[in-house]
Amino acid sequence: MSDTHGKRKALGRGLSALLDRSATDQAHKEISGEYLTGYVTQIRVDQIEPNPFQPRVHFNESELRELTASIEEHGIIQPLTIRKMGHEKYQLISGERRLKASILAGLLEVPAYIRLANDEQMLEMALVENIQREDLNPLEIAISFQRLLEECKIRQDELSKKVGKDRSTISNYIRLLKLPNEIQVAVRDNLITMGHARAIVGVDDEKTQLVVLQKILERKLSVRQVEEMIRKIGMVKVTGSASEVSVLPGRFEKAKTVLHGKLQSKIEFKVNRKGAGSIIIAFKSDEDFDRIISKLDS
């Protein structure tokens, strides 16, 4: 009982309302009287057009092949959801992956629910269905949220209720769309995680963001390491090219702490890839310079 309740809650209030037959289905038949909305029937695949609001733009080929093999052996277990567009013409609401695999398996017909839905409902249903079952990557989720806000004129608080996500989570996703294309592609292709991307968003300029991306990919940095890189003064220095950026190893950080404790002055390290570098000791005046020199001599 608790699992069922959890799944229903995860779908979000908006989708639950849409899937309530009393809210979405009407006593509607084709002229032929053959199909009734709200029920499962067999529909020819050539009568179904893609969902223009489909948030998923990339499908894993190996997973698609596995699903195709499963459909060839067992058929489609979970029907597609479609809406009627005209006589013998339908538009996919959810289940594009199943439809693609069915076509690859050579099926001429697929089982489908026929529902009534407007464009806002189309996008909402496609988004939530995919989030719950197909693990959209963060960029695809961000694009979908943005389309709901801009194209369907939904406020963030309304969107939060519809998809079961708090406003801060939605904002974090949408902020990904402000990142340079190279970083968005890295998120899309799972080269970096949502956590990495959120850390990079905190960097002010695009040049530095791209440098941080390069260091993540080169050194396979964890999210925590990236956050430290961005937060700590002296951890990242951009002086013209990515090759001049260095992430200080822990021993340098320890040395910096020791020197700061002894000299009571700001210490900065610059280290290149070959291990060569410099130590910069800041001073505020002639007297402060003399103080530091005396401590070094002692």
Task: Enumerate residue ranges in the chain where pLDDT < 70.
Answer: 1-39, 53-57, 117, 120, 123, 127-135, 151-152, 232-253, 271-275, 298
- The pTM is what? 0.49
Let me know whether 53 and 104 are in one domain. Answer: yes
Catalytic site residue from 96, 124, 129, 140: 96
Q: With left for phi above 0 and alpha for psi between -120 and 50, is residue 237 left, alpha or beta?
A: beta
Query: What would the two tokens of residue 217 be?
Result: 């990919």
Q: Whole domain around residue 274: which residue ranges?
A: 250-297
Q: How many CA atoms lie within 13 A of 218 on its CB side?
A: 12
Q: What is the pLDDT of residue 4?
A: 45
Taking alpha carbons only, the member of 239, 237, 197 closest to residue 216 is 197
Domain count, the chain: 3
Q: For residue 154, how many other CB atoms are within 10 A of its CB?
A: 21
- Say if residue 27 is in the same domain as residue 53: yes
Same domain, 104 and 229: no
Asked if residue 153 and residue 18 are part of one domain, the reply reads yes
238, 256: one domain: no
Residues 40 and 112: beta-carbon distance below 8 Å: yes
Q: Are residues 8 and 96 located together in one domain of the fold? A: yes
Output the CA torsion 194→196→199→201 (10° steps).
-70
- CATH number, domain of 142, equals 3.90.1530.10
Q: Among the three residues 149, 173, 197, which one is the final residue of a domain in this structure? A: 173
Is 129 in the same domain as 11? Answer: yes
Same domain, 30 and 161: yes
Q: What pLDDT is attached to residue 128?
A: 67
Give how far Cα 244 sits from Cα of 8, 44, 237, Å.
Answer: 52, 60, 7
In this structure, the answer to whether residues 131 and 273 fall within a common structural domain is no
The DSSP secondary structure of 210-265, one letter per residue, reads HHHHHHHHHHT--HHHHHHHHHSTTT---SSSGGG--PPPHHHHHHHHHHHHHH-S
Same domain, residue pair 273 and 213: no
Alpha-carbon distance of 53 to 91, in angstroms, equals: 11
Domain termination site, one of 144, 173, 202: 173
Longest distance between any two alpha carbons in the chain, whole Å:
100
Are residues 72 and 137 both part of a single domain? yes
Looking at the structure, do residues 258 and 283 belong to the same domain, yes or no? Answer: yes
Give the domain-ending residue among 203, 222, 244. 244
Q: Which of 2, 4, 10 is nearest to 165 (CA)?
A: 10
Catalytic site includes residue 96: yes
Supply 78's token pair.
């979970």
Residue carrying the six token digits 């069915």: 102
